Amino acid sequence: MTRDIAVVAFAQTDVLRTTDELSEVEMLMPVLHSVLDRTGLKTADIGFTCSGSSDYLAGRAFSFTLALDGVGAWPPISESHVEMDGAWALYEAWTKLLTGDADTALVYSYGKSSPGSLRDVLTRQLDPYYVAPLWPDSVALAALQAQALIDAGDTDERELAAIGTRSRRVATLNSRAQLRGAVPQGDYVVRPLRTGDCPPVGDGAAAVILAAGERARDLCSRPAWIRGIDHRIEAHSLGVRDLTDSPSTRLAAERAGVFERPVDTAELHAPFSAQEVVLRKALRLDDSVRVNLSGGALAANPMMAAGLIRVGEAAARIHRGESDRALAHATSGPCLQQNLVAVLEGEPR
């Protein structure tokens, strides 16, 4: 069955360094209310609900069930969850709507990184036999990738600094971003990465609503149609990968139809400055493409929500008439291990 499916609404929280005074439910509820208000829908009007979060961040098993208090699980709803960034929850919701079992879907994700040490928590993603026992943290692994790029002649520290500076400068127009404006490049965290090359640690949540066919046109004056979406994963072992390239991103982009004709906007989930270099090459993005006008993950990187925010930001620009064909990218795992790519389009004006 072929159906046209679109993002019809997007909402997100302010991304803050800490939200000690809020539970996950309290952080999430305003976003859910906001995204529903944008369409006029009620919870009972949603055909399918899918969420993304991480029990490792929450520190307890099945923590996502508590967040359902913010959605309202009674009367019973059709609901699912992925232990991933919300971009993958969006993928599941998209497939659900393709089957015709629902016409609308609510997708949300959230993450509170502030209670613990995120660099340590992310080591749990690694190979449990050969890598995780060594406790290499996320910044150290990203530094290996950055150094590989420098050694290959693909970039240098000056270019990496410029990426961080540009990202936070354009983020001055994004009231939700955690870091905006001039941010010092700072000292080395792990060579060759300095503070300015690394994402801020913060708490946040995001939500989108998907709708199919005429229902999408009823809910949004200019829907962001998902013309293609795909995700691919690379080997778990870092030693068998070329960290200067991202074949999974390139393959996902090919399957999503990115290379069929140019995009005018791209939202890349590149938590570290060097990863934007890798993604631009894999996605064949030249200087004519406006990249991360929201500031990207270098301005705000709430775990489990930053990828969904990339899709939401790309869709919102189409809604406002600022983009006609946009690319959205999300990543998960160390050094861009798993990647999702979506192409969104607005109807001709």
Give all domains of the chain, ordered by start, each with its CATH number.
Answer: 5-116+201-219 (3.40.47.10), 118-194+224-345 (3.40.47.10)
At 304, the pLDDT band (50, 70, 90 cuts) reads very high
At 189, the pLDDT band (50, 70, 90 cuts) reads very high
- What would the DSSP string read from start to end of 150-182? HHTTS--HHHHHHHHHHHHHHGGG-TT-SS-S-
At 1, the pLDDT band (50, 70, 90 cuts) reads low
As separate numbers, helices (DSSP H) first and strands (DSSP E) second, the chain gives 11, 12
Backbone angles phi and psi of 207, in degrees to 5: -150, 145
- pTM recorded for the entire structure: 0.96
3-state secondary structure of 226: strand
Backbone angles phi and psi of 213, in degrees to 5: 55, -135
Query: What are the DSSP E strand ranges found in the chain?
Result: 5-12, 48-52, 79-82, 104-112, 188-190, 193-194, 203-212, 224-233, 265-267, 290-291, 325-332, 338-345
Backbone angles phi and psi of 200, in degrees to 5: -75, 150
pLDDT for 67: 82
Amino acid, res. 21: E
pLDDT in tens, 227-248: 999 999 999 899 999 999 999 9
Count CB-CB contacts under 10 A for residue 120. 11
pLDDT for 90: 98
